[in-house]
Amino acid sequence: MQKKFVLKASAKLNLGLSVLGRRADGYHNLETVMQQISLADTLTFEPCTTGRGWTFFCSDPDLAGDENLVCRAASLLSSLSASVLPGVRISLYKNTPVQAGLGGGSSDAAAALLGLNRFWQLGLKKDVLLILAARLGSDVSFCLQGGTAVARGRGELIEQLHPLPFYWVVLALPPQVHISTGAAYKMLDPLDFGKLSLQELIKAIEIGDRKAIDDWLAGSYTNTFQEAIIKGSATLGRLNRSLQLLSLNPALSGSGPALFILTADYNMARSAAYAVRENGGKAFLSWTMTGNREWLYV
């Protein structure tokens, strides 16, 4: 019988995000540099004696329904297996803010794929898991691998990059602002598509040039979503402005509303987190990570 085990589902940042254009299937092509961070949800997998298949518990009752990506990952995997699968209880403990641009749900889905592949001893290899990940959501492929990567297509085509040098990450969230990815894409002006190039950032990461990375992130335009999303919420706009006035260079992650500040200096990170709270935001202190160890089991 399988033993209980625990997996972390790390949040992600989009260090840069350029929407390139709308596709015939309703999605958008993009290019984005993604970074795994230490802020994470926790999933436990344990034998469930009451039956076969899987049962699901979530610490946030609002996310406990069948439409949770963890449940969708479980039903996708179980539909692929002809044999009777041993019962598993999956418990999800949420830490990552939802609908914030931090990939919390996508990362839960990725951890569910990895965890159930192990628990049910399915033996699915990386290439198959990546195909399943893309079916669950555009960001799930990156979350499977973690580390630092460029994502293209609708987000499912991953090119791993040299690991980012270590940074402390200060996350700044305006209270009570949640933005669904689909709604955020609808807010974009097509005239902005393809205007942002990430080549300088990618080059700086590949050669490990911290100064060039810092300079790129300090630029005024790092994400196609930033104007529409920041204009669309007065609370987010105020938080962003006050952090800008303190020269903290906040950038928007994904389709927002999470802002982030990167610094190599711990004292600076603590002061930035304090400044976020002083200005009415919720602050999380996190750090950059170099990749998912769970691949060792695939």
Main-chain phi, psi angles of 254, to 5 degrees: 55, -135
Nearer to ligand C5P, 87 or 194 (CB): 194
Give the one residue of 35, 141, 148, 181 binding ligand C5P; rule: CB under 6 A. Answer: 181
Instruction: Tally Cβ neighbours within 10 Å of residue 191.
Output: 7
For residue 137, the minimal CB distance to ligand C5P (Å) is 4
Bridge partner list, 33: 16, 150
Main-chain phi, psi angles of 34, to 5 degrees: -110, 150
Establish if 141 lies at the interface with ligand C5P (CB under 6 A). no
Establish if 151 lies at the interface with ligand C5P (CB under 6 A). no
Residues 196, 186: Cα–Cα separation, whole Å = 18
Q: Residue 213 contacts by C-beta under 8 Å, 6 or more apart in sequence? A: 164, 165, 201, 204, 205
For residue 226, the minimal CB distance to ligand C5P (Å) is 17
User: Active-site residue among 25, 41, 139, 189?
Assistant: 139
Catalytic annotation present for 108: no
For residue 145, the minimal CB distance to ligand C5P (Å) is 17
User: Active-site residue among 12, 211, 214, 265?
Assistant: 12
268: three-class secondary structure by DSSP: helix
Q: Give the burial string for 121-142 (b: 16+ CB within 10 Å, else e).
A: ebebeeeebbebbbebbbbbbb
Nearer to ligand C5P, 226 or 279 (CB): 226
Give the one residue of 30, 102, 171, 276 binding ligand C5P; rule: CB under 6 A. Answer: 30
Tell me how many residues contact ligand C5P (CB under 6 A): 11
Q: Interface residues with ligand C5P (CB under 6 A)?
A: 27-28, 30, 137-139, 154-155, 181-182, 185
